[in-house]
A and B are shown apart, each in its own frame.
Chain A
Amino acid sequence: MFATGHRAVGFGYLAISVIAVTVGTLLSLVMRLHLTWPDWPLPLHGPVLPEEYLAVVTMHGTLMLFFVVTVAPTAGFGNLILPAQIGTRRMAFPLLNTLGMWTMALALVVLLAAFAVPGGAPIGGWTAYPPLSESVLAGPGQGLGMDLWLASIALFCVAGTMGAVVTLTTIVKRRCEGMTWERLPLTVWAWFTAALLSVPAFSVLLAALVLLFCDRHLQSGFFVPSQEWMNGVMIEHHGDGSPLLWLHLFWFFGHPEVYIAVLPGMGLVSMVIANFARRRVFAYRLMIATTLLIGLLGILVWGHHMFVAGLNPFAGTVFSVSSLAIALPSAAKVLSWLATAWGSRGVRGRMATPMLFALGFVSFFIAGGLTGPILAQPILDEYLHNTFFVIAHFHLVMSMAAILGLFCAIYYWYPLLFGRKLSESLGRWHFWLTLLGAYATFLPMYITGLGGEPRHYAQLSGIAGPGARLLALTMPLQRHITFSAIVLMSAQVLFFWNVQMTARRPRLAEENPWQATTLEWAPGAMDGDDDDETHPRRHAYRNPCVYGEDGEGFLPQWSEDASLHRFPIPLKTEAE
């Protein structure tokens, strides 16, 4: 059980994400049903109270952000694929790596335990702004539930830093002979950049969590004023702090965090589009540069979460410019994806599922990303801040894109990991229902946000006053969003059904069914866990994505011989 093999660790991380994504998705269903029909009683529970709604929101965000879109693409697939992709047989520091995974598992258990303690889970959202997150008196869930949340995220930071150190060391020290930095697949560059961001981001968050813990239990005053007033009670703190310090520290972590989540997807999507278009990623070196540039700019833009939170308005302008600047490397990536995919349909007959999910990623990234520059303008953020416009933005650009990136990874690497190929026809249904379901769910949120709907509102109807009249106008769209979300969730059943069905099918005979060029597809690349001397040493002879002029034939990185490999099977009659 405590195997130190990187594959066991990778599957462990994926198991953590599967549990988190299942719970997180069910929580979002509760949120949608409650928002649309506030009197609806949750089976086996009864009506959802406002504080319970906020607890559900907080846990949904925490589970999805930390334990799904951060853990699965970086630590999960990083462990499973990264070593083979750079021609080594294991990750660096196997013990530290295993310890990281179990720490992460513990973090998830501690987080989920918050549901079961008196007062329930915390209600302050995944950003946990003090003093709401600092005082037990601030509301239900802010006692033991909040302490568990802090402990869980602290463990997450420790585990995430361990994982990042392992990833960085592996990439720097364990590349095989011939695997120069320029020959690294873009997935590796993405894991590298994400790990580079993880170390400072998680460390700063860990420090902030410790300070918040001190404010809660030792009456220190880092994030609260010396005289705190809560619910009719005066609390004296040693020191006169400011909640804004927490916002700075949190978003110094929080913004790089979203790039940590989405960069691996970007890297994989680049490689998958290239492989199914049978041509090299357009402007490969520029892609490496933009990956690093997005990472660098990602740590300089945290203030755009604080335009109307009390940030100096001049600083708002500076953060606005740095945030707008990030649109350029992002746009460069989109242009490269579009150019790489151009004219790719006829190359291999029907479009394969990994390619569909990769193109879906591009679509979501555009649809969500284009509202980024709008939110980066302080005067517009003044109206849009903390509305559903923001919810729509990050669910498309980061969450849905990251999820499609994960599905792309699963469909693409399934033959490598399990020796079987997922059903293409079921996969296509899964893709289209997911794509349309997600658009039908999240695009209307732009509209309700423009109509003024704020985040974290447990109820939009049934309140008196002009505010409620404003929010009630969104109710028809709320129903539409809820129905679409149910379709989106139901579509995921197809995926699990696909996995079930595939398990019964015979193993694939071919080793490299997608005719990929990167090292993980080399014969025997995934065998052996340690530096097993019986396995030949890997060597990278050339850049990835080398294909024939017409897309016919390819030259894998591991092939010493410089003549093109021909496709082993006829292209147009791909076995379903």
Chain B
Amino acid sequence: MAPVQTMDAVRWGWYLPRDGALHGPALDAHLMLNLWIALGLLVLAHIVLLVGLMVRRRRAQMPVVVLECLPLLVLTVLFAWLAGRSEHLWAAQRYVGAAPAAMQVEVTGEQFAWYFRYPGVDAAFGRTKLQLVSAAEGNPLGIDPGDAKGKDDVVTSQLVLPAGREVDLTLRALDVIHGFSAPEMRLKQNAVPGQTSHIHFTPTVPGEYAILCTQVCGMGHYRMQATLRVLPAAEFDAWLKGLEAAKLANEVQR
């Protein structure tokens, strides 16, 4: 796995990790455009600075319009253009929610682990209560047994997703703010206790990816990592069916 990532890092340029999400390539292209422009301006400004220190002094200085207003006008147009492009991408990702057909998965952050909940065959999450939260009793999210919708909910410690299908993540945090981040999916959104937030994306390339916590959450922050496994659609269906069947068998036994 590791050598593949090294190669990907080289292929993508600017040391960006590989990109496995549908919205990713457009984001990467815009990011790299920005980086090249910033690098260009950095070099240009330093050339002007250094050349200016080498040339002989001239009596007359050029007028303010030429040295300030014109470059500022150019920069205004440049930044407005970049802003237009980037707001377009931002709007596409954030202004509207996921499509109704998107797959639902709930992500919950807790010091220092991520839990992922699938709604099961009824496609609805059961109610949770903080009072019932107990990882030791096998209920790390506090799913209320009194709610029928929760009977078929499946909780995992790995986020497994099918390639090519849009997924709507519901983000929650039990204790403190956690930062849900999947760098290779170009995805980041904080999970805030007391409220839920949503983020939607479509993984495209099967593989194993990183999930990190990117908001300092306590002493174990650095090891609050999980795995995102993107599977081909058929494999994913089999995986989910297996989990649901196991869950059902467990319920019947009780």
Known: A132-B177, A341-B49, A467-B210. A382 touches B68 (CB 8 A): no
Kindly provide the distance from the CB of A21 to the nearest chain B CB, expressed in whole angstroms. 23
Query: A373–B216 Cα gap in the complex (Å)?
Result: 25
Q: Which among B68, B131, B225 is the interface contact of A336 at CB below 8 angstroms?
A: B68
Select A385's contact among B35, B131, B214, B227, beta carbons within 8 Å.
Answer: B214
Shortest C-beta distance, B192 to chain A (Å), equals 5
- Kindly state whether residue A338 has any CB partner on chain B within 8 Å: yes
Interface presence of B222 (CB below 8 A): yes
**Do the beta carbons of B52 and A338 come within 8 Å of each other?**
yes
Chain B 210-254 interface mask (CB, 8 Å, partner A; 1/0): 111111111111110111100000000000000000000000000
Among B16, B62, B194, B225, residue most surrounded by chain A Cβ atoms (within 10 Å): B194
- Selected contact of A367 from candidates B34, B42, B217, CB within 8 Å: B42
B127 CB–A CB distance under 8 Å: no
- Given A380-B86, A447-B15, are A131 and B30 also a contact pair (CB < 8 Å)? no
A345's nearest neighbour on chain B, judged by CB, is B53
Does A297 belong to the interface (CB within 8 Å)? no
CB of B98, distance to nearest CB on chain A (Å):
14
Give the contacts of A9-62 with B (CB-CB under 8 A): 49-51, 54
Task: Give the docked Cα–Cα distance between A367 and B215 (Å).
Answer: 26
Q: Contacts A386-B179, A386-B214 given; indicate if A320 touches B222 (C-beta within 8 A).
A: no
Say whether B188 faces chain A, with CB atoms less than 8 Å apart.
yes
Chain A nearest CB: distance from B142 CB in Å? Answer: 8
Please judge, given known A-B contacts A324-B79, A380-B86, whether A54 and B94 are in contact too, CB under 8 Å: no
**CB neighbours of B124 from chain A (8 A):** none
> Is A483's beta carbon under 8 Å from chain B?
no
B residues less than 8 Å from A296 (CB atoms): none
Residue A2 is within 8 A (CB to CB) of chain B in the complex: no
Q: Quick one: which of A241, A283, A316, A473 contacts B94, CB cutoff 8 A?
A: A316
Give the docked Cα–Cα distance between A308 and B179 (Å).
9
A503 at the interface (CB under 8 A from B): no
Least Cβ distance of B53 to chain A in Å? Answer: 5
A374 to B211: give the CA distance in the assembly, Å.
23
Cα distance A232–B48 in the bound complex, in angstroms: 60
**Are A451 and B218 also in contact (CB < 8 A) when A282-B67, A335-B68, A383-B188 are?**
no
Q: Is the CB of A242 within 8 A of B194?
A: yes
Q: Are B90 and A316 in contact (CB under 8 A)?
A: yes
Question: Bound complex: CA of A228 vs CA of B134, how far in Å?
Answer: 15
Check B79 against A327 for contact (C-beta < 8 Å): yes
Shortest distance from the beta carbon of A79 to any chain B beta carbon, whole Å: 32
User: Which residue from B131, B215, B226 sits with its C-beta under 8 Å from A465?
Assistant: B226
Within 8 A of A (CB), among B184-209: 184, 186-190, 192-195, 197, 208-209
Q: Which of B87, B133, B211, B225 has the largest count of A CB atoms less than 10 A from its CB?
A: B225
- Counted as pairs of residues, one from A and one from B, with CB atoms less than 8 Å apart, the total is 295
Taking the closest CB of chain A, its distance from the CB of B231, in whole angstroms, is 15
B76 at the interface (CB under 8 A from A): yes
How many Å from the CB of B123 to the closest CB on chain A? 26
Q: How far is the CA of A387 from the CA of B14 in the complex (A)?
A: 15
Interface flag for B121 (CB, 8 Å)? no
Let me know if B195 and A242 touch, CB within 8 A: yes
B148 within 8 A of A: no
- Give B184 Cβ to nearest chain A Cβ, in Å: 8
Chain B residues within 8 Å of A336, by CB: 68
Kindly report which residue of chain B lies nearest to residue A334, judged by CB atoms.
B45
One digit per residue, 1 when the CB lies within 8 angstroms of any chain B CB and 0 when it does not, for chain A 376-408 equals 011110110111000000000000000000000
A450-B14 contact given A343-B57, A383-B188, CB 8 Å threshold: yes
**Alpha-carbon distance A383/B179, docked complex (angstroms):** 12
Residues in B118-172 with C-beta less than 8 Å from chain A: 130-131, 133-134
Bound-state CA distance A456–B221 (Å) is 8
Known interface pairs A229-B133, A363-B49; A370-B214 also in contact (CB < 8 Å): no
With contacts A234-B131, A334-B45, A347-B57 known, is A139 near B34, CB below 8 A? Answer: no
CB–CB B222/A359 < 8 A: no
Say if the beta carbon of B25 comes within 8 Å of chain A.
no
Write the chain A residue with the least CB distance to B136. Answer: A232
Flag A91-128 by CB within 8 Å of B: 1 or 0 each.
00000000000000000000000000000000111000
State which residues 538-558 of A face B: CB under 8 Å.
Answer: 549-551
B12 to chain A: closest residue by CB: A450
**Which of A242, A370, A380, A465 makes the CB contact (< 8 A) with B42?**
A370
In the bound assembly, the distance between CA atoms of A549 and B189 in angstroms comes to 58
Given A138-B218, A338-B52, is A379 in contact with B225 using a C-beta cutoff of 8 Å? Answer: no
Please determine whether A131 and B177 come into contact, CB atoms closer than 8 angstroms.
yes
Q: Are A342 and B42 in contact (CB under 8 A)?
A: no
- B210:A132 contact, CB within 8 angstroms: no
| A346-B56, A382-B188 known; A229+B227 contact, CB < 8 A | no
Cβ distance A223 to chain B, nearest Cβ, rounded Å: 10
Among A387, A452, A469, which residue has the most Cβ atoms of chain B within 10 A?
Answer: A452
Chain A residues with CB under 8 Å of B211's CB are 467
Decide yes or no whether A419 CB sits under 8 A from chain B. Answer: no
The CA-CA distance from A308 to B180 in the complex, in Å, is: 10
Which residues of A lie under 8 Å from residue B227 when comparing CB positions? 465-467
- Give B41-84 interface residues, CB cut-off 8 Å to A: 41-42, 45-46, 48-49, 52-59, 61-62, 64, 67-68, 71-72, 75-76, 79, 82-83
Whether B103 is near chain A, meaning CB under 8 Å from some CB there, is: no
Are A458 and B221 in contact (CB-based, < 8 A)? yes
Contact residues in B for A343 (Cβ distance below 8 Å): 52, 55-58
25 contacts between A and B (CB under 8 A): A123-B218, A138-B175, A138-B218, A224-B193, A225-B193, A228-B193, A230-B176, A240-B194, A244-B195, A282-B67, A283-B64, A313-B94, A316-B90, A344-B57, A370-B38, A379-B30, A386-B214, A450-B14, A450-B16, A452-B183, A452-B212, A466-B210, A467-B225, A472-B2, A549-B59
Other 14 A-B pairs with CB < 8 A, given A139-B111, A379-B86, A382-B187: A125-B216, A225-B194, A308-B190, A334-B45, A359-B49, A363-B49, A373-B82, A382-B27, A450-B15, A454-B179, A456-B222, A463-B223, A467-B211, A469-B210
